[in-house]
A and B are shown apart, each in its own frame.
Chain A
Amino acid sequence: MSEPLTFFEQSPRSPEIAARFPDLHPAFDKTAAVAEANRCLYCFDAPCTTACPTHIDVPRFIKKIASDNLEGSAKTILDSNILGESCSRACPVNVLCEGACVMHRYNKQPIAIARLQRFAMDSLTEAGAGLPFTPAPDTGKSVALIGGGPASLACAAELRRAGIRAVIYDARPLPGGLNTYGVAEYKLTPAASLREIDRIAQLGVEFHLNTTVEAAMLARLESEHDAIFLGVGLGAIHRLGIAGEEMTGITNALDFIADYKRGALTQISGRVAVVGAGNTAIDAANASVRLGAESVTMIYRRGPEQMSAFDFEYEHAKQEGVDFLWHVQPIGLSGNGRIEVLQLERLESSTDGSLIPIPNSAFDLRVEHVILAIGQSTHTDALLANGAAPAKLKLERGRILIDRATGQTSTPKYFAGGDCTNGGREVVDAVADGKRAGIAMAAWILGGANASH
């Protein structure tokens, strides 16, 4: 009997996508990594470590690269961040570790922490090594984790290290959530995400894929497990609420990104309008350029100073050749079954900051594609409906309210982390949430067990 395929072996591999999305930050070779590692000052209580939500001991792993202790370097990273490989590629390091680097105030060039981290993690992969951790002896306890994204993966790894069974449920065919399906391909490929998850699976984490957990199933899982971790992320992208949204050629950014990452979409023709100006909107716009769009225009109702995308992402989009239409909003969609015209009107800010349409300012933008990236709803409401126990979970603006230090919700048996609790931040924030929750859950479950004996 043959071994079941690893997730890595199941990863989508489209040569065309690979060609269109080469690495944005190519890997260091060893010489370059060591030279860069030697630039690190080895700060005490380093600001980069503080800035990292998972508190990777950055100077320590960097000095291990310099000393040619790559095994120790990878272990240092993984000790704090079990998804250290994907974070090295996906993190917005300009506002995290590299943004905090004291080198900004020294010779102006921060240490290339992300690329060094990737180098250390790649060396682990090249060595064919698994995680440098083993599960603790089985405690007989178990946790169900809803959602297979970074928060649940990090939580599951902590639980396994404490000897607790960890069972992940995810609606998609492959685990990883946005790490596998949602990060811009030039940063993180599904193969890299899945290779990392294979290592976590080796800790004995169980995966139930293609499985949507509804309220009734959640109630069953609650009765079968010692605790539940909710790492369900955010829901669908908001709709415009304009007639014609069902027309061919109109999609949302998350589906669009997942489609090309799966290899289901390998090129795009014609003109593209991306509505929204967050990081996801930028990812969709850049992807459109790379997939061959004739032109790509981002549509935003405010100005560049208000966009929620990171500055470096905005700069990247400009370099990719994306055009911007500021202070406009869609007011109509027209076409003959397929989108042909996006009708826009200009806006101005009133003194109280609200946006007011400028009369008679409407104009047409001829497009073949419209991609919506105007924020995501939460889908906790659906999950928590129907009177199941978690209906008691306290929410805040649709987000699950947690104790930040433990991830525990208002219902003690339920813990949560990641986008469903923070409204949508970064992979590394989800990992940090999952890690804290995993440690706290193990203490809660095992401490409770001890107390009862």
Chain B
Amino acid sequence: MPATNPTLETTFAGIRCLNPFWLASAPPTNCGEQIMRAFDAGWGGAVWKTIGEPITNVSSRYSSIDYNGTKIMGFNNIELISDRPIETNLREIEEVKRRYPKHVVIASLMVESKRDSWHEIVKRAEGAGADGLELNFGCPHGMSERGMGSAVGQVPEYCQQITEWVKEAAHTPVIVKLTPNISDIRMPARAAKRAGADALSAINTINSITSIDLDTFEPRPNVDGKSSHGGYCGPAVKPIALNMVQQVMSDPSAALPMSAIGGIATWSDAAEFILLGAGTVQVCTAAMHYGYRIVEDMADGLLAWMRRKNFATLDDFRGRSLPNVTEWKHLNLNYKIVAHIHEDKCIGCELCYTACWDGAHQCIHLDRTLPHADTTRTPQSIAAEAPRRITTTPIPKLDLNGPGADGPNLTPLSRIPRVDEHECVGCNLCSLVCPVPDCITMERVDNGLAPQTWDERVAAGIVPEPIEHGVLPNPNA
């Protein structure tokens, strides 16, 4: 088979893109100078920091949470939209488009909820040369208190109304940016689609309080001793964003070209979102953390993966995982896997053992060197035995039973856990906690049963019909 020479070029809602990597509307896209440097670094597009009547920001504005020594697992901001005059932003959009005509510049917009105000800002942004418009219906802090941002995004009717006003005036594609701070993200997405939106972007940031200072009892980011809920983003939100993108893209009444946002930092993050139907991806936190240079590996890595998978274009795999996401009731109840520990890879940390006992189904045991299988020893009983062992410093050439006896490179058999495959429910927990790649694999067990879902069991009368919403038995009756 001839080697594929894949391309990242793509078209999003009619907008031609050099690649699917856009900077999200945020501090990295605050001004033209930044965006031109970002384009030089390899970004295919940028959504301008939201343009509207200039605001006044507070200091400080950001906070983050770290995880086990890794900085910025999650990031939070209480910064508002652009604090620069509208005309400055528009003048710079014009300059950027003149100098980078092939790169995508999207104008993110937020004005008061009046038809004339939206008509005016749309005309001015398109007049400046923006390739498209993103309606910021997602900003969860500050602007929402003034009836804008997520105050619009949380009410499908408002979302629809404003999108309709914008579409009355717009000549370029209109992207509606959705807030995740809502029970069902499909509702505003459907409203946007009804209003004629050309595309969606999701997710905006999630309401959050990142942390409390344990010395001052004040929350972060600290503004003179107080804080306010901020928008949460970064690696921690990616699973939430993947779910919401899937929810929208699997809903025919909502699905539109999707510019995915939420914790994207690497090529593999991008690939996952595209597999769930995204046309482009938007990045903010990772660029704030490491700078624009991260896009080089996003492009390089994605192309390498496409070559390995023999994909020539993004369209070759866009949405490919959507059919694999379904409702729980459609999952095969007769599918059975069990954990298998590859003894040759096991390092003897016994994390799978303690996880299975305390966090799962008590079916991993430490009995390989006992005369008989023993499923009754608990972690507590093993821990109680440990201090009673007498050990001494092994003196070289004299002691043969020290830790050096087996050599530190051999795991003693007594430390390699054993899976009771009859009891194992195939939950994955042991394989998730195991630090060694491919040491614990989940192996399919052929139980001879044909696939059967809950839905099918209900249909076959094996299990009772589900209770309809609204007819729950009244406990007070």
A residues touching B (Cβ–Cβ < 8 Å)?
34-35, 37-38, 41-45, 47, 49-53, 55, 66, 91-92, 95-96, 99-106, 110, 306-311, 404-405, 422, 425-426, 428-429, 432, 436
Partner-binding segment picked from B87-95, B123-131, B348-356, B450-458: B348-356
Q: A43-B350, A308-B395 are in contact. List 13 more A-B contacts (CB 8 A).
A: A41-B435, A45-B383, A52-B391, A55-B389, A66-B69, A96-B403, A99-B404, A102-B347, A105-B347, A105-B348, A105-B408, A429-B393, A432-B392
Does any Cβ of A come within 8 Å of B379's Cβ? yes
- Bound: A322/B365 CA distance, A: 50
**Contacting residues, chain B, for A425 (C-beta < 8 A):** 392-393, 395
Pairs A–B under 8 Å by Cβ, sample size 10? A35-B69, A38-B69, A49-B386, A51-B402, A99-B404, A105-B409, A105-B411, A308-B396, A309-B396, A432-B392
Does any Cβ of A come within 8 Å of B398's Cβ? yes
Q: B366 — nearest CB in chain A belongs to which residue?
A: A45
Q: How far is the CB of B185 from chain A (nearest CB, A)?
A: 35
Q: A44-B379, A428-B393 are in contact. Are A55 and B436 (CB under 8 A)?
A: no
Q: A92 — nearest CB in chain B belongs to which residue?
A: B393
- Check B404 against A102 for contact (C-beta < 8 Å): no
B residues touching A (Cβ–Cβ < 8 Å)?
68-69, 347-351, 353-354, 366, 379, 382-383, 386-387, 389-398, 402-404, 408-411, 415, 435-436
Q: A41-B435, A426-B393 are in contact. Are A106 and B347 (CB under 8 A)?
A: yes
Q: B402 — nearest CB in chain A belongs to which residue?
A: A95
- Check B347 against A44 for contact (C-beta < 8 Å): no
- Bound: A269/B389 CA distance, A: 48
**Contacting residues, chain B, for A428 (C-beta < 8 A):** 393
* Pairs A-B, 10 closest by C-beta atoms: A104-B408, A38-B69, A44-B350, A44-B354, A100-B403, A105-B347, A102-B347, A43-B349, A426-B393, A38-B68
Q: How far is the CB of A53 from chain B (nearest CB, A)?
A: 5
- Check B391 against A50 for contact (C-beta < 8 Å): yes
Q: How far is the CB of B239 from chain A (nearest CB, A)?
A: 22
**Contacting residues, chain B, for A426 (C-beta < 8 A):** 393
Q: How far is the CB of B409 from chain A (nearest CB, A)?
A: 6
Q: How far is the CB of A340 from chain B (nearest CB, A)?
A: 34
**Contacting residues, chain A, for B436 (C-beta < 8 A):** 106
- Bound: A49/B383 CA distance, A: 11
Q: How far is the CB of B208 from chain A (nearest CB, A)?
A: 22
Q: A35 — nearest CB in chain B belongs to which residue?
A: B69
- Check A429 against B392 for contact (C-beta < 8 Å): yes
Q: A66 — nearest CB in chain B belongs to which residue?
A: B68
- Bound: A18/B397 CA distance, A: 34
- Check A405 against B350 for contact (C-beta < 8 Å): no
**Contacting residues, chain B, for A47 (C-beta < 8 A):** 348, 403, 415
- Check B379 against A51 for contact (C-beta < 8 Å): no
- Bound: A92/B398 CA distance, A: 16
Q: B358 — nearest CB in chain A belongs to which residue?
A: A44
Q: A45-B386, A425-B392, A425-B393 are in contact. Are A34 and B69 (CB under 8 A)?
A: yes
